Amino acid sequence: MTGEAREPSGETGPLDGVTVLDASRVLAGPFCGMQLGDLGAEVVKVERPDTGDQTRGWTPPAYGDSEEAAYYLSINRNKRSFTLNLASEEGRDLFRELAAEADVLLNNFRVGKMEEWGLGYDELRAENPGLVYCSITGYGEWGPDKDRPAYDLVIQGESGIMSYTGDPDGDPVRVGVAIADLATGLYATQSVLAALLDRELGDGEGQKLDLSLLDSAVALDTYMAEAYFATGDSPGRQGGKHNNITPYQVFETQDGYAVVAVPSEHMWPDFCAALDREDLVDDERFATNSDRVEHRDVLDPMLEAEIAAYETDEIVALMQEYDVPATPINDMEDVFDHPQVRARGMRAKVDHPTAGTVEMPGVPMHFSRTPATVRSHPPLLGEHTDEILAELGYSRDEIERFHEDDVV
């Protein structure tokens, strides 16, 4: 990334020319690396020579008749795979060569490991002052818990997310995806982009970024945290309902469930009209959202009984006729057959050398001049090792020796 003006080709993403060295594994870091790759960056995924990223072995399910883990495939497109033994001195030397040419470095090793290897920020920035060095850990690089191992499930509990997720009379429930990891990947992507912009607008210096799963998950508490700060009471679990809005919830129907949302006052009369219950509009207990929340113990059962008389498709169509947001609860088949999802390119596919045609969620970022795209398949383990070594200037004989000595 030179900072020189370039004319967008209409075929490359906004990060075309940016090189990312992705030494992360599992989810938060690879998710960040994939987003940067989707945006056009050249992403080199550094993996252990023997097993690679742990998620390569997270089967079932595998894709089709291959041994490729669906989990791994979901977060590693638009990258090249470079196997490297960082436990060896020669491996670390090769890593330094790659880092010297990179714009961004991602890692999620435990606190202090990169410094132990001589690959910490201070060491690498001496050779590459413009490097944006992003470290992702469970609890961050300082504080009493910095050395604790962290996993998404633990963080969901520790951050408070599980305290308000689940049915009021049921057990605490984890969010179905690894939300702490994914949020950290998103925050890491934002941070990297901000640091690159600062570098380009400033003096050309990079900086170190410190992202943690716990910080990211606590940040997601948002209005639940603010409700606690405002009242001193921790919000409880509401299941498919909302603490601050009603009706804004999951309703059981004759044949399943429907989601109906009435988040603004002007929708309340329309919602009541759809149910042929205009009498509710004139009921002073339900005049405003605050009134409805206060009297939800009366209102909710009333509405649940009304909607239970309909089949899901009937109530959804009725609500949409009155311009009230509503939907069935889609499973993955429904989602990826959804006409809007297809129209927006959110069902993507790419050819893979062993798994055939691989489908995956598309890129949710749309640019008018510099499109973000799915350009290349999630790489096989070490698929690009020799290619990258050759780009570094190593001969065929030297590359063979690296393999023989288990350096790569």
Question: Which residues touch 159 (CB under 8 Å, ≥6 apart)?
Answer: 180, 214, 217, 218, 220, 221
First to last CA, the chain: 27
DSSP state of 376: S
Specify whether 397 is catalytic.
Answer: no
The C-alpha atoms of residue 104 and residue 46 are separated, in whole angstroms, by 13
The residue among 253, 247, 258 whose CA lies nearest residue 308 is 253
The C-alpha atoms of residue 74 and residue 22 are separated, in whole angstroms, by 16
Catalytic-role residue among 22, 38, 152, 181:
181
Question: Which residues touch 123 (CB under 8 Å, ≥6 apart)?
Answer: 96, 115
Structure tokens at 54: 């742990």
The residue among 245, 225, 223 whose CA lies nearest residue 234 is 225
Q: Which residue intervals of 232-384 are DSSP H helices? A: 267-274, 289-294, 296-307, 312-321, 332-337, 339-343
Question: Which residues touch 302 (CB under 8 Å, ≥6 apart)?
Answer: 280
Positive or negative CA dihedral for 6, 9, 12, 14? positive
The C-alpha atoms of residue 94 and residue 310 are separated, in whole angstroms, by 65
The residue among 73, 194, 71, 86 whose CA lies nearest residue 132 is 194
The C-alpha atoms of residue 80 and residue 41 are separated, in whole angstroms, by 11
| Cβ atoms 28, 136 nearer than 8 A | yes
Q: Which residues are catalytic?
A: 181
